[in-house]
Amino acid sequence: MRNRTVANVTAVRLTNQQRAAGLRNAYRFYMAQQKEIISTINSLIETLKDGQEGFKQAAEGVKDTGLKTLFNEFSMQRARFAGELQAQAVQLGERDPEDSSSTAGAMHRAWINIKSAVTSQDDHAILAECERGEDSAVSEYKEALEEDISAPIRDIISRQYNEVQSAHDRIKALRDATKAS
């Protein structure tokens, strides 16, 4: 009888150890997944900050008041989107979510500044550069939507993607219209 009791206790002990190991592995997987989601969010925030600054500089570089207004609206939209994603990153445990633009974005803005100076504030040239920047933003959002992200965050990213795509299409149409003029 004693041998059966020892065997049962050993089996229970192994089962508890297996459960604990399984929980540790599940926790590690969960934490790794959280880090991936935070990384994706931070990448989008950086892209949005690039757009925010790019549109701000584009607004300063164009002559057309309608374009100035539109670019300022897009700049504010990107700031709002970045704020939404920063809040999500904090909820996921990120203490210090991304809050600046990328080096590549800074170089692209410098290129817009040089191009607008050389082309005497050519609205078409600035629209073309904005459209190129929007191509990059659309691509970043598409990549993010391919990631394994929970529903609430996916919904935010999907909504933002639709608005970024709409902005891209509007800028492209304006670019094409100024080319024809």
Domains of the chain: which residue ranges?
A: 32-180
How many C-beta atoms surround the C-beta of residue 59 within 10 A? Answer: 19
Residue range 32-180 forms a domain whose CATH class is mainly alpha
What is the greatest pairwise CA distance in the chain? 97
pLDDT, residue 137, reads 92
| Rounded Cα distance, 121 and 129, in Å | 12
Residue 143 to residue 3: CA distance in whole angstroms: 59
Is the pLDDT at 120 greater than 80, yes or no? Answer: no
Q: What's the pLDDT band for 63 if we cut at 50, 70, 90?
A: confident
Least confident of 53-62, 95-104, 141-150: 95-104
Residue 168: name the closest of 179, 160, 157 by CA.
160
> Nearest CA to 104 among 165, 47, 167?
47
- Report the candidate in 108, 110, 86, 104 with the shortest Cα–Cα distance to residue 38: 86
Q: Is the pLDDT of residue 22 over 50?
A: yes
Q: For residue 61, name the pLDDT band (cuts at 50, 70, 90).
A: confident
Give exposure, 92-112, as e/b (b: 16+ Cβ within 10 Å). eebeebbeebeeebeebbeeb
User: Residue 117: pLDDT above 50?
Assistant: no
For the chain, give the mean pLDDT: 81
Q: What is the pLDDT of residue 8?
A: 56
Q: Supply the pLDDT for residue 114.
A: 47
Full-model pTM: 0.77
Question: How many CB atoms neighbour CB 34 within 10 A?
Answer: 14
Segment 64-89 mean pLDDT: 96
